[in-house]
Amino acid sequence: MASDVFFIDMRASIKRTRLEKIGDLIERVKWEATLPKKSLVAVKIHFGEKGNTSYIHPVYVRKIVDKIKSWNFKPFLTDANTLYVGSRANSVDHMITAIENGFDFSVVGAPVLIADGIRGASEVAVTIDQEIYERVYIGTEIVNADAIVSLAHFKAHELSGFGGTIKNLGMGCASRRGKMAQHSEVSPKVNKKKCIGCGTCSIHCPADAIRVSDEDGKAATFDDLCIGCGSCLVVCPQNALEIRWDTDGVKFQKKMVEYTLGVLKGKEDRALYVNFVINVTPECDCYHYSDVPVVNDIGILASNDPVAIDQVAYDLVNQQPGRADSRLKKGHEPGANKFRALYPKIDPEVQLEYAEKLGLGSRKYNLVKVK
């Protein structure tokens, strides 16, 4: 059965503001009817790494928070700590980064709670009994919440092809142990012919898992130290680092989907999904910079189906002409797959296919425009 996905474009005027349109968009899903009053609602969002500028604007978040509060629910903004060393690796730094990026109570109208504790060890083991995992490890406050609202910035991603609702929940809500489990088989290999031994990868590696060898002057990886974050793939100026895609790419996406299943267990009818298909950057918001979007801003989507909303966003991006000033080097024509053009060895539809197979939702959709 096809699922309804509601959509607003980015047009605005004196008579019809973008914030008004966002409020109407959220109302169309009729999600609030499933919840008792005073429910504690986890608003799952990525606060952006320090220096990043493409995360969801806090003013948009405030509008959604206000709408949730108008239904007599109690929202809090949340994310889990990162695996890599950065400005969100522990709750203290994470909350400081969130506030500096605009997610202060005075701006968004809701408190910030980091889901997996001060060092990422506060977790709940959720039994799912699937192909890869029997149980998954989710941040405690995600599990303890009565309901969840996923606010996902839709963009390309170097390990999963794209990141939307499924990644926001599956990777974003996992504890440190959960993130380690998902990344455990994603390790780079060095193309010695391309490597010039500049050391850029070593400088940016958060785990000291790649170094320039004294023997041949080329980069060498240490799989026992690698945390699979993918940072080296992005920073290498020679594109000399590659993922072992023959096994890792598909399995990584399946792991992410199974974690999403665990996040939503018991909340299947208490979840609202919103995809911001704007600032569609070629990489995720975990970096301390934001590159030029690969397409122009499209709009914002809302649904009660996490698969359908990601399918719509994926289709809408691919239907757009690519931006000539972006990192996109080919596939600019409307209808061309922008994600495969960026990451040709990744099939991003794996996550959609597997999520549908596990019963998370449907890839069939009815796109309903909210004027």
The tens digit of pLDDT for each residue in 315-364 reads 999 999 999 999 999 999 999 999 999 999 899 999 999 999 999 999 99
Asked if pLDDT for residue 100 goes beyond 90, the answer is yes
- State how far Cα 298 lies from the chain centre: 18
Task: Compute the mean pLDDT over every residue in the chain, rounded to the nearest whole number.
Answer: 93
CB count, 10 Å around CB of 30?
11
pLDDT at 243 over 70: no
Per residue in 134-160, pLDDT (tens digit) is 999 999 999 999 999 999 999 999 889
Question: Distance between CA atoms of 177 and 124, rounded to whole angstroms?
Answer: 11
* Contacts of 211 by beta carbon, 8 Å cutoff, 6+ apart: 202, 219, 220, 222
49, 122, 183 from 98: Cα distances, Å = 8, 19, 24
Split at pLDDT 50, 70, 90, the class of 284 is confident
Tokens 């400081």 — which residue? 96
User: For the structural domain made of 188-243, what CATH number should be given?
Assistant: 3.30.70.20
The highest-level CATH class for domain 3-183+249-369 is alpha beta
Identify the CA nearest to 226 among candidates 275, 185, 259, 182.
185
Q: Supply the pTM of this predicted model.
A: 0.87
Stated as kind and residue range, the H or E segment containing 303 is strand 299-303
| pLDDT of res. 245 | 47
Residue ranges, CATH 3.40.50, the chain: 3-183+249-369
pLDDT confidence tier of residue 186, bands split at 50, 70 and 90: low
Residue among 308, 27, 290 at smallest CA distance from 166: 308
pLDDT for the residue numbered 246: 45
Which segments of the chain belong to CATH 3.30.70.20? Answer: 188-243
Whole-number pLDDT of residue 156: 96
Q: Are strands 299-303 and 219-221 parallel, antiparallel or unpaired?
A: unpaired
Residue located via tokens 């455990």: 184
